[in-house]
Homo-oligomer: A and B are copies of this chain.
Amino acid sequence: MNIAIIGLGLIGGSLAKAFSEYTEHRVIGFDRDPSIVQRALELKSIHEIGDSSSLSQADVIYLCLYPESAIQFVKEHAHHIRPGCLVTDTCGIKTMVCGELTRLSQLHGFAFAGSHPMAGKERSGWNASEASLFNGASYIIVPCEASKLHVDTLKQLALEIGFGTIRITSAEEHDRMIAFTSQVPHVLACAYVMSPQCPNHKGFSAGSYRDVSRVAHINEVLWAELFLENREPLVEELNELIRHLAGIKNTIENNDRDALQALLRCGRQIKEALGE
């Protein structure tokens, strides 16, 4: 298959490298930075630098751009996408993106299903990308109006490049879960390092500090967009977290050992019930 990858950042670059390294598919790479597509071609991470004509030959298009740019790209290039082509995105939020892209797919006669590769890093851009990024990770598919055949194609491609689990869900469930599993930890990391003690942590810290603060190394433009487009579920999860933090804090303030132990035990039991 001809696979077009739009945007060679961390996710797009890793998809290009993985498809080139692990499969026989032909990879066509697009990036607004000409030096990056050039470098990707030299490294054989893509077979061809994309243009309007190669876009129209694509069987599958992966949009690896920020949500608003992904929609913008399709609006601008819809007349070069051939009918029957399968378009998918890789955005971290789904309700808004899938709504817009489904509407555009129906207007222009191509197929669309949403995707979210559950893999990442605290660094971004082409230089951070690697073929092995998806090894064993979960690949979430939001079918929208796409046929079972198209969903199966996305599944198959995900397994070929190393994903370990496929999860099919609705845009709304995806966004509610992602608010908890991914967005809250990113908000948290930034809030955590704002403590006046943070700059002096060296020699006083170990794994716990490292783990909570890791993703404070955030791309604020991308994440602000993701947070704002998932406002309602994210605010709900943050309220939930603040409520539980305040609950534990109160037992400490009141020196209430039994109540504190009960709350900590509750945390442990949730973790244990998940077999973690």
Contacts and interface: CB of A to CB of B under 8 A. Distances in A.
A271 B193 contact: yes
Interface in A201-260: 201-209, 211-218, 220-221, 223-225, 227-228, 231, 234-235, 237-242, 244-249, 252-253, 255, 257, 260
Contacts of A184: 192, 195, 212
A235 B208 contact: no
A243 B174 CA distance: 28
Nearest to A187: B248
Contact of A241 (B169, B195, B218, B237): B195
Given A237-B195, A238-B249, A215 B208 contact: yes
A144 interface: no
Interface in A151-180: 165, 167, 169, 174, 176-180
A86 to B, nearest CB: 22
B270 A206 contact: no
A49 to B, nearest CB: 31
A159 to B, nearest CB: 14
A187 B253 CA distance: 13
Interface stretch (A17-25, A54-62, A261-269): A261-269
Given A182-B208, A201-B181, A234 B252 contact: yes
Contacts of A274: 198-199, 201-202
A267 B169 CA distance: 32
Nearest to A245: B191
Contacts of A201: 177, 180-181, 274
A36 interface: no
Nearest to A225: B257
A260 B227 contact: yes
A182 B205 contact: yes
Nearest to A265: B220
Given A177-B200, A267-B193, A249 B253 contact: no
A96 interface: no
A185 interface: yes
A213 B193 CA distance: 17
B206 A174 contact: no
A191 B205 CA distance: 21
Given A197-B180, A201-B181, A228 B240 contact: no
8 contacts: A138-B204, A181-B208, A181-B209, A182-B208, A212-B212, A213-B276, A220-B260, A228-B252
Name the 9 nearest CB pairs between A and B, nearest first: A190-B267, A167-B203, A191-B244, A220-B264, A185-B208, A211-B211, A177-B204, A181-B205, A180-B197
